[in-house]
Amino acid sequence: MVGPVDARLARPGLKTWSLIEIAFPSSPANGAAYIPTNGQFNWSIQWHANAVGKQGVQPWGMSVSTGQHSLSNCHGNVSSSINPHLFYWAAGGTIVNGVKPPYVIWCSRKRLKYNHWYKILTYTKWATNSTGRTKTWIDGALARSITRPTLFKDGSTGATDVPYLELGNYRWIGQTGGVSFSSTILYKKARIGTTRASVLPVGK
């Protein structure tokens, strides 16, 4: 697990760029291959909520969804670990009486590529209202663009969340009946900055 990156990078009105190179090995690497759990609780890149609305949710995160996958069922199926796809979650907005606003999810139309270095470039404009935005490119192709809140705000106190960036193979063994197993994700060239040029190599 690598993180958290300084939460001062995520404040209302700020803009953040991140470039993460990530791979899922099919054969043992550092002790094990990549094996996802059932369903969609296979987080690898997260801007995780840190204060307001922190329980079980993050402003945005990337995971792997498995099971009976379709574009209308991004959550996959908790009874199966087959058919893995990249899965993306975006959330934010005002929490009223403990109820969080609806989140948005996205699924790749392609199965997960093992032994491939994915380049995940993400732009985030941080806001508690509809001026927020996230855009994500995977291997140079725009995968998703959403205009919506990207930060949580407590409707009672007015407090705004201070999310942080973390990288790690975060799985919930409850989706596999409590069975624990080894699994590896590889990372390289993790960069974060305030401009696209600050995270992309020259000419890319």
Map out the domains of the chain as residue ranges: 7-193
Q: Which of 195, 101, 106 is nearest to 145 (CA)?
A: 106
At 7 the pLDDT is 64
| Contact (Cβ atoms closer than 8 angstroms) between residue 42 and residue 22 | no
The 10s digit of each residue's pLDDT in 179-190 is 788 899 999 888
Q: Which of 65, 72, 17 is nearest to 44 (CA)?
A: 65
Q: What is the mean pLDDT of residues 153-175?
A: 89
- pLDDT at residue 86 above 80? yes
**Mean pLDDT score of the chain:** 87
- pLDDT range class, residue 195, cuts 50, 70, 90: very high
Is 7-193 a CATH 2.60.120.200 domain? Answer: yes
> Phi then psi for 173, rounded to 5 degrees?
-70, -10
At 1 the pLDDT is 47
